[in-house]
Amino acid sequence: MKTFWQRFLTNPRVVCGLIWLGLVTILAIFAPLLAPSDPFAIVAEPFKTPFSEYVFGTDSLGRDMWAGLVHGARTSLLIALIATVSAVAFGTMVGGIAGYYGGFIDDILMRMTEFFQTIPSFIFAIVLVAILTPSATSIIIAIAIVSWPPIARIVRGEVLSVKGREFVQAAIIAGQSDSGILLKQVLPNTLSPLIVTGSLLVATAILVESALSFLGLGAPNLMSWGFMVGSGRSFLRDAWWLVAIPGVAILLTVLSINLVGEGLNDALNPRLRDL
Amino acid sequence: MSDMVLSIQNLKVDLPVWSDRAHAVDDVSISVREKEILCIVGESGSGKSIMAKSILRLLPEPHVRVSGGSIMFEGNDLLDVADEHMRFVRGGRISMIFQEPMAALNPLMRIGRQIDEIIEVHTSLTASKRREKVIALFDDVRLPEPERILTSYPHELSGGQRQRVMIAMALALEPALIIADEPTTALDVTTQAQILHLMKDIQRRHGTSILFITHDFGVVAEIADRVAVMRYGKLVETGTVNEVLSSPTQDYTKALVAAVPSMTPRHRPSERPENSILVINNLVKTYAARGGVFGGKSKAVHAVAGVSLKVPNGHSLALVGESGSGKSTLARCIVGLEQSNSGEILLDDINIAGLSRTELRPYRNTVQMVFQDPFSSLNPRQKVGDIISLGPMLKGTKKDKAWEDARDLLCLVGLDPKAVERYPHEFSGGQRQRIGIARAIAMKPKLIIADEPVSALDVSVQKQVLELLDDLRKSLSLSMLFITHDLRVAAHVCEEIVVMRNGVLVEQGATANIFSNPQHEYTKALLAAVPGEGWQQRS
């Protein structure tokens, strides 16, 4: 039997995904070095074609597309990661407590989860951002609030199945406290579905963030891919690269995350695929 | 040879590359003769089930597939025939009975229809004729009230009744061969005895051949005409049931036969100490089925209905009962996994009944538990050292010391002390059960509750684990409440036996007395139902 890493890293789709994600991460981390100028600064005349003076040309106001792409990577990744981590943390807490204690607590928490799940998530996110006034924080909050319910349901289901296993009873008999059992015995055994769902959630978060920025609900002083697509949209016939460059960046990033997420799933649950 | 019903020659079945061996079945040749019951015996992983499945082409292909040999049945090689012909063979000429009848029956279809369907597909009988036939089949397998069973769903029947339905289904088309894959393993002993009796009877009346797969030599002694012993995919030994059971030629067969727990209780000192580590007085545990959001009447189920017993210091008491007898619920009440409704649980003269989990913490040192399923009782994400040292560390032992103790404990239970650094999945079932025992004694308890600790293990491993428990009990002067469904196991490790049924004790006494002179009808029935009883008394 191969180990997890052997299964994970020999999967060609995972390797492709990781290469692109690595590239985007480097762009995001070293953005100030790779494009020292402010991405909102007007550096040249508008509509300069790519591969001329500027690698990716300039947009309708003469802003450097390369700087926008690099700083946009930073915004997308940061917002998506923080939002996902918050959603996973909150969802795990709710699902863990609901599944472990059961009964009345479970009923209350799960009805609350369903309440959030039944609201159309994108419209809900738009409303939240509009109420909270657009900023990086409000976008993160909005994405986290619409993303945690599925996590809570998955964790609850896993906890329900794990808590019936005998090692949990053994921990009770050893005298471990409820919180100790939940954190040290039960939750570590729910990790694999959580990692897979969490990684796919990052992709959704990037899409939601881009969509919000596209609609003009992005953070006003942060360059973002969605904002670039949105502002280049009216010039699609004359300057295709204004939309194509950030659009392809979103596409490849979301695709890569999905490939890696699927790869994680295959590597963590090998039997599902093999038998 | 014309009297062969089924003849398997040099059968080879490949396993996927990631398995621990290349072949599930390796060059096995056996044949089933007309009107005989051939038992295939083997421990888990011996390839016996895979071989049976390959006969009807039920292997999980393409990962597990036949790579060589032939399976001759009624003049055809079943490995070569067209799918069309295979469908005719399946059910029509060869039928199969599975271990878990609940899983083999469609839960959403009435029993009558499920059998009717088979007859409809394979014959041209009219609906009324088919119905007559199904009723006749039910009579044949001694199902009570056939009319009612016809319209029942599987969940409305008992385990034994469901297995009778499966047998009726297997018989429906008068097949030449029935393959039975551990058909009685999921059943209680008394039900098992009835089903074995029925199968033997039916085989005689219908002249069907049966290929019977089992891990239990007791069952073999009850039912087999001939026996084939398998290990690691290879055939070890074949012969008539008398040859194999009373004078096995191969070492492995000898070891297996010797490992079958004997019905003769071990000789033990009979004096009973005055003090008891555990005294239970009139304990009651009732479950109320939850009414749900919309109310509805809740039904009370009496799992334990007024049980009183004593475990004397340093003694081992067996609590014997079938499924649903309340024996596990009683154990769960003692260790505080369940709250009893009334009655006393005196542990070292302190009443712990009704205490919450937090209030029980000071007494965790006194009583510990060994669990049934070694695959579910160890946390797969923790190292063995963490698993064993959990209890002591919660009691305030420093990590270094607790791990040092864990190494010593592993030596004590016969494992390599280096195992502390490894994870549970690296160990076999028997080794895991040893780790579970080490975890229990890490708390230095006075009393161990062992809930069916060997029922998930192969016989040879079962014997070793029982020996280990017995040795530890002596060397650490532990008391033990040993819960089991198997009287043979109880005889092996316990001074005293209490028999439990439907939440109450029906009989208690010294092991030797219970075996030689049972008083209660139910105890007598249990003793009579132990498979292979006649063979054991002979030998």
- Concatenated DSSP letters of B330-384: HHHHHTTSS--SEEEEEETTEE-TT--HHHHGGGTTTEEEE-S-TTTSS-TTS-H
Determine how many CB atoms are found less than 10 A away from the CB of residue A54: 18
CB B208 within 8 A of CB B184: no
Is B231 part of a structural domain of the chain?
Answer: yes
Would you state the pLDDT for residue B289?
64
Determine how many CB atoms are found less than 10 A away from the CB of residue B253: 21
Chain A closest-CA separation from residue B395 CA (Å): 8
Q: What is the pLDDT of residues B122-179, one digit of tens each?
A: 888 999 999 999 999 998 888 888 888 899 999 888 888 999 999 999 988 889 999 9
Amino acid at A2: K
Residue B125, strand partner residues: none
CB B380 to CB A172 under 8 A? no
Is B366 part of a structural domain of the chain?
Answer: yes
- B336 and B249 within one domain: no
Would you state the pLDDT for residue B268?
65
The low-confidence residues of chain A, meaning pLDDT below 70, are: 1-2, 270-275
Would you state the pLDDT for residue A273?
44
CB A170 to CB B439 under 8 A? yes
CB B304 within 8 A of CB B321: no
Residues of chain B neighbouring A166 (CB-CB closer than 8 A): 371-373, 376-377
Alpha helices in chain A (DSSP H): 4-9, 12-29, 31-34, 65-101, 103-118, 121-132, 136-163, 166-174, 178-180, 191-214, 225-232, 241-268, 270-274
Would you state the pLDDT for residue B44?
84
Query: Which residue in B has a C-alpha nearest to residue A274's C-alpha?
Result: B63
Would you state the pLDDT for residue B294?
54
Tokens representing residue B269 in the block: 């000192």
- Identify the domain containing residue B10 by its residue range: 4-259
Would you state the pLDDT for residue B300?
75
The architecture that CATH gives domain A4-274 is: Orthogonal Bundle (1.10)
CB B450 within 8 A of CB B371: no
Quote the CA–CA distance of B114 and B101 in Å, as a whole number: 13
Would you state the pLDDT for residue B9?
92
CB A188 to CB B377 under 8 A? no
The low-confidence residues of chain B, meaning pLDDT below 70, are: 1-2, 267-270, 289-299, 534, 536-539
Q: What is the pLDDT of residues B462-475, one digit of tens each?
A: 889 999 999 999 89
For chain A positions 92-111, those within 8 Å of chain B (CB to CB) are: 107
CB A189 to CB B16 under 8 A? no
Is B268 part of a structural domain of the chain?
Answer: no
- What is residue B261's DSSP assignment? P
Choosing among A158, A172, A173, which should be mutated to test the B contact, i.e. which has the most B CBs within 10 A? A173
CA-CA distances (angstroms) from residue A195 to B112, B423, B477? 47, 21, 47
- B224 and B328 within one domain: no
- B238 and B340 within one domain: no
Residue B280, strand partner residues: B309, B345
All structural domains of chain A with their residue ranges: 4-274
Would you state the pLDDT for residue A152?
96
Quote the CA–CA distance of A269 and A253 in Å, as a whole number: 24
Instruction: Using DSSP, state whether B175 is helix, strand or coil.
Output: coil
- B391 and B337 within one domain: yes
Look at the alpha carbons of B197, B198, B202, B208 in this order and tell me if their dihedral is positive or negative: negative
Q: What is the pLDDT of residues B94-104, one digit of tens each?
A: 999 988 888 88
Is B265 part of a structural domain of the chain?
Answer: no
Quote the CA–CA distance of B340 and B121 in Å, as a whole number: 53
A1, A170, A275 ranked by CB distance to B377: nearest: A170
Half-sphere exposure of residue B146: CA atoms within 13 angstroms, side-chain side: 16
CB B343 within 8 A of CB B282: yes
- B374 and B463 within one domain: yes
Would you state the pLDDT for residue B389?
94
The pTM of this model reads 0.84
Quote the CA–CA distance of B379 and B383 in Å, as a whole number: 8
Tell me whether strands B479-484 and B316-320 are parallel, antiparallel or unpaired: parallel
Determine how many CB atoms are found less than 10 A away from the CB of residue B515: 18
- B405 and B510 within one domain: yes
Half-sphere exposure of residue B469: CA atoms within 13 angstroms, side-chain side: 33
- B77 and B158 within one domain: yes
Quote the CA–CA distance of B13 and B233 in Å, as a whole number: 9
- B282 and B248 within one domain: no
CATH number at residue B330: 3.40.50.300
The domain tally of chain B equals 2
- What is residue B247's DSSP assignment? S
Quote the CA–CA distance of A95 and A162 in Å, as a whole number: 13
Residue B72, strand partner residues: B7, B77
